[in-house]
Chains A and B, each alone.
Chain A
């Protein structure tokens, strides 16, 4: 495998791909229109697929190509298409949703990235540079996904926040050399199964509430109970 560090091709490309994913996480935070949110998510998934394949090549681990293929097929193609179809069916394509102001969202996002760098870099002193920075980038993507889930109100964008969070998880898993396939496969299973669940819920929520706004969910936890 040779030396991996600044200036080495394998390192630079992995770093670039991880950085692109983080950038797209920021883009997701600032998107208001549901259709553009889905597009941005799809681009992030493509980046993840390329990152997984790149790691497969660098680590000489063919199973990672499979991870990349699953990420591309499921997350970059099938899921965005299904989401877009239900957006069309629910006539939400022009909908814009209220969220935090761009400045607040960006400031919180930058704070989370700083946090994850401050947490990961000192704890991984002995690990290779590639692993360290990959982990820091992955944790940032995870935290930004969480932030998106917290700050958005509709079920659609919360689902996308959740899936973006999982992109971060897979980025972490593929960056660790020699990790058995169990994790990648399990995440793929999770996304597929999870999405089936989500799809069912989206349909059912539409039937019951005529809206996808999760503010309706406060009914269960309301004070009278």
Chain B
């Protein structure tokens, strides 16, 4: 048990959490930003070693899929920490945050990152639940940091809705334990993913169904799936932008990974209900609702949050389709969407600081006034809209072609959602980046500040049109490592 927490794997979540402790000791906000960068870089470096640490213990599980998602999350955490150094310095100048809140911001960011990594790498359902809960609380505190009336409203709503979701997930965890206990006996076994996967055929199917319903709704809340999605737009719009950037992709991935693992256990059980149709239904509703909600939004960060609901729904749909193709498409989509959405939020955050507001009225004609920033934002929005050469084009086409193979009657609806969403994103791209520019109030954004965003865009471009075969093999291995993924 102790050796679990001293293994190199444990360093991945531990380094950001230790960084959070250090950040709590550092009073100076400039130095705090470097502590955050160092801790996030340590977490990312440790995560890069995960592919060589494949294996499982009582509490930790490193298989290709969790290693992949942990590397992704740690990478986005690192670029966000680098990004937020300048972003937060500017917030400090304008007085939206003060020194104490900046210190809290760094603590909250690192706690959020550390607990998400712990949830990804945990083999125990209880620990994953606690970690996700702790990550939620960190994010809630982060969203409430600006202490405007709106941000407090948003974090209150975030907390209540996610609190209910996570409570339902705990009930599902208890029921799942009850389902597996006759097969695995009392103790930790019946709460451990690896043991559940092995003993899947002996798990009681009726209780497994009940657990699935609660876990799907509970973790679906965190993934932003309809009907418990309404916290997302508010939380993304009102919190500090770097929090939105990590929130946009990473929490969805943690929740979707847990749902994916559960789906694998159910597929291996054989007698339970088919988890595919409910997942596909929730996913499809989320795609359609997210896409059509893009109409009539005035706040840029809210707008992109609805796009996250749409993309998360697409990933859930692909997981519901299942099979190697479906899981592969879902993993690719989660990867590129996380990178693309973080890039969008980074660029939008800079634009909002430059123009002094985050509504579409405040930000127009970016390319004319700030060429580099405008082009970066344009590229990021094109990526999220699912256009080539970026990776979302490839992943969306993969999901659609899997859908044509297995559920051809749903494909038109899915395409409708994607087209509507992409159309509206492009319309907004035109208003954001072209046309006469609005007056700038903030300092100009130089190209160094845009480097993290460019790295994201470069990775998704490479994944889009020239995925190296090693990466493809790695993703296939990750998809295969989900029990039942290779049906």
Contacts and interface: CB of A to CB of B under 8 A. Distances in A.
B38 interface: no
Contacts of A214: 156
Contacts of B137: 193-194, 197
Contacts of B206: 122-125
Interface size class of A (residues with CB under 8 A): 35 or more
Contact of A127 (B156, B178, B191, B237): B178
A169 B154 CA distance: 26
A204 B127 CA distance: 31
A124 B187 CA distance: 20
Interface string B26-38: 0000000000000
B209 A205 contact: no
B126 interface: yes
B130 A124 contact: no
B177 to A, nearest CB: 6
B96 interface: no
B199 to A, nearest CB: 16
Given A142-B167, A165-B164, A224 B298 contact: yes
A125 B206 CA distance: 9
B277 interface: no
Chain B at the A interface: mostly helix, strand, loop or mixed? helix
A126 B182 CA distance: 10
Given A123-B209, A135-B175, A186 B238 contact: no
Given A124-B207, A135-B178, A179-B177, A194 B152 contact: no
B338 to A, nearest CB: 25
Nearest to A202: B156
Interface in A128-183: 131, 135, 138-139, 142, 146, 149, 155, 158, 162, 165-166, 168-169, 172-173, 176-180, 182-183
Contact of A176 (B141, B154, B178): B178
B398 to A, nearest CB: 34
Given A179-B177, A193-B137, A219 B150 contact: yes
A217 B178 contact: no
A66 B167 CA distance: 21
B210 interface: yes
A182 to B, nearest CB: 4
Interface of A: 119-120, 122-127, 131, 135, 138-139, 142, 146, 149, 155, 158, 162, 165-166, 168-169, 172-173, 176-180, 182-183, 186-187, 189-190, 193-194, 197, 201, 204-205, 208-209, 214, 216-217, 219-221, 224-225
Given A217-B156, A221-B230, 11 more contacts: A124-B207, A165-B164, A176-B181, A178-B185, A180-B126, A182-B124, A186-B130, A197-B140, A204-B152, A216-B153, A220-B154
13 contacts: A162-B160, A165-B164, A172-B175, A182-B124, A182-B126, A183-B173, A186-B170, A194-B137, A201-B156, A214-B156, A216-B153, A220-B154, A224-B298
